[in-house]
Amino acid sequence: MPLKINPLRRYRELRRLRRITAILAGYGLEEIVLLVRGRRFPVRKVRVDAATRGARLRGALEELGPTFVKLGQILSLRPDLVPPDIALELSKLQDAAPPIPFAQIRETLESELDRPIDAVFAEFSPEPIAAASLAQVHRARTHTDEIVAVKVQRPGIARVIESDLDILFHLAQLMERHLSDGERYAPVDAVTEFSRSIRKELDFVHEARNAEIFARNFAGDETIHVPRVFWDYTTPRVLTMEYIDGIKFSDLDALEQEGLDRRVLARNGARAILKQVFDHGFFHADPHPGNLLALPGNVIAPLDFGMMGRLDERLRDQVAELLFGVVERDVDLIIRALTDMGCVQAGSDSAGLRRDLLDMLDEYYGVPLKRLDFRRLFEDGLDLFHRHHLKVPAGLVLMGKALTTEEGVGRMLDPDFDMVTMAKPYVKRLFVRRYTAELKPGHWLPVLERYLRLVKELPDEIETALQKMSEYDRTDNSPRDFRIWERVAHAIAIGSIYIGSAIVLGFEVGPCVDGLSIIGLVGLGIGVLLTGWHAISNRGKYKG
C-alpha cells in the first residue's frame, strides 16, 4: 500500500526547511546549506565576520528555536561529534523565550485537566514566573490552600518539534551519505538519540516520575528538599508541583541578607551531587544556579527534573576502574576501562592514545588537590576523546557536566571550595564497592551452585571416561584414541581437585590460618604438583 503524505504537512516542512537554510546561510554556515539544498541563493547576511564558527552556530541555533537550542545543548555534551571549541560555545545556549498570552495557557490547562481552571485552582496568576522554549510556569493556589507552581507546555510546540525532527533526520541522512566522515560520526544515530531525549522532555509525567525517584533517594536527608508532585493536576502537558519560595544560588547578596551560610550551601550542594552520581546512579544533569534554591537552615531545593542522567551499576563499576587508573597513573588500566565502556573503537591509534594519556596524567600528577581545576580536567578529557574519535557513553559525559557545574556553583559561593577533596571518599567507596561486590554471597551463590552441580556430576563423568578407556587395549591399533581419553581422564581428575579446593577455601572449612582453609591450600598445592608432573611425564608423548 503506497505511503500517504499529508500535503499540508509537506508544505509546512518545505517552508520550515527554507527558513532553516536561510538562517544558516545568514550566519555564514553555507556548507550546511549546500549539503541540504545543493545550491546557493541570496540571503540576509548577519554581521558575523569577527565571530568564531562556534559563536555563529550558537547564534543560528538560538534563532532557529527550541528544537535546535535543545539539539545544541545535547551536542555540547558529545565530544565524539563536535570539537571542543564548538562544544564550549554550544554549552552557552540559553533556553528562554518570551511569554505567551494567558488565554492560550488557560485553554491548554482546561483541555488537559478536563474542567474549568476555577474548578481546579482557587487562584491562578496570569503572569508567568518563568518562560522557556517548551513551557512556562505560573504560581497558583489550590482549593485546599496549597501554593503550587504550574508548568504548562506551549501550545503547538510538539508539532513544531516533530516537524523539525523530520528535517533533522533528512539532514543526518544527507551527511551520512555525502560526507567523507559521515558514517564514522553516525549522525542518524545521534538524531535518533536526540529525538528520544526531547520527546521525554515533552512528557511532563516523565518529569514528575523523575522528581519522585529523586525524592525517594533523598528521603531522610535534611539538607535537601524536593518539591512535592500534585498528581491530580498533572498530565503529559501540565506539571503541578509544590511552590518553593527560596533564593536562587546566583543571588549572593540575598543569601547573605537572609543569614544563609554560603560555605555550608556549597558543601551541601556538592554532597548532594556526589551522592546522586556515585551512590544513586541517578542525578540532576544540569544543577546550574538557576535550578537550585536556598531555604532556611541552608537547605537546598533542586528544580526542573526534565533532564536526568543515569549511571547503571555496570557503568559505575567501569567508572571506578577508570578513576583508579587515573589515581595510579596506570594507562593500561585506563585503556582497558575505556574499552570495556565501548569508547575505544576497532582500528583506533592505541599507541597515540597511550602517549596522549601519559602526557595528560603527567600534567596533573603531583598537583595539590586545591589547585586542581575540575572543569579544566574534564575539558582536557573531552578534547582527548575528540582527537581519538572515542565513543562517549551519554551517562559519562552528563556525569562530568554535572560535577563541573556543581564545582562552579561551589566556587561561586565559596572561593576556597575544593570539589576534588570532597569527591575523594565517594570515589574510594565506589572503588571498594566495585572490588568487594564479587565477595558478596549474592554474587557467589549462583557460581557455587554451578560448581556444586559439576562436582556432583564428576563421579559419573569420570566413570564414563574410565569405561571408554577400558575398551581400548594398549596393543590396540588406535593408540591415539586411547591417549586422548587418558588426557581427558587426567584433566577431569586434576580439575576436580582444583574446584573442590576452591570451594573449601570459599567456605573457609577449618582448620584456618588468617581466614584461609589449610585443607583448601593443601588441595591447591596437590593440584599444582599433579599438573606439573602430568606435563613433565607426558612431554612429547602426544605428537602425531
pLDDT on residue 1:
42
Average pLDDT over residues 7-35: 71
Residue 46 has pLDDT above 70, yes or no: no
**β-pairing, 135-142 with 247-248?**
unpaired
Q: What is the pLDDT of residues 275-334, one digit of tens each?
A: 999 889 999 987 888 889 999 999 999 999 988 888 888 888 888 788 777 767 788 888
pLDDT band of 115, cuts 50, 70, 90: very high
CB 279 within 8 A of CB 218: no
pLDDT band of 527, cuts 50, 70, 90: low
Q: Which three cell numbers stand for residue 282?
A: 541517578
Least confident residue range of 39-53, 213-227, 381-395, 489-503: 39-53
**Is the pLDDT higher at 175 or at 137?**
137
Percent of the chain surpassing pLDDT 70 = 69
**Whole-prediction pTM:** 0.71
Residue 366 has pLDDT above 70, yes or no: no
| Report for 229-238, 322-331, 476-485, 525-534: range of highest mean pLDDT | 229-238
pLDDT on residue 274:
92
CB 326 within 8 A of CB 361: yes
**Is the pLDDT higher at 402 or at 79?**
402
Least confident residue range of 31-40, 142-151, 223-232, 461-470: 31-40
pLDDT on residue 3:
42
- Mean pLDDT of the residues in the chain: 79
Residue 152 has pLDDT above 50, yes or no: yes
Comparing CA positions, the residue from 184, 190, 191 lying closest to residue 168 is 191
**Is the pLDDT higher at 54 or at 110?**
110
Percent of the chain surpassing pLDDT 90 = 27
CA dist., res. 442 & res. 437, Å (int)? 9
Residue 458 has pLDDT above 90, yes or no: no
Residue 214 has pLDDT above 90, yes or no: yes
Strands (E), 286-326: 292-295, 299-302, 308-310
User: Would you give the distance in Å from CA 146 to the centre of its chain?
Assistant: 36
pLDDT band of 461, cuts 50, 70, 90: low
Cα four-point dihedral sign 257, 261, 262, 265? negative
Q: What is the pLDDT of residues 495-512, one digit of tens each?
A: 666 666 666 555 555 566
HEC string for 37-61:
HCCCCCCCCCCCCCCCHHHHHHHHH
pLDDT band of 390, cuts 50, 70, 90: confident
Residue 215 has pLDDT above 90, yes or no: yes
Residue 202 DSSP SS3: helix
**Is the pLDDT higher at 463 or at 344?**
344
- The residues annotated as belonging to the active site are 286
DSSP label of 145: S
CA dist., res. 365 & res. 327, Å (int)? 9
CA dist., res. 452 & res. 444, Å (int)? 12
DSSP label of 410: H
pLDDT band of 363, cuts 50, 70, 90: confident
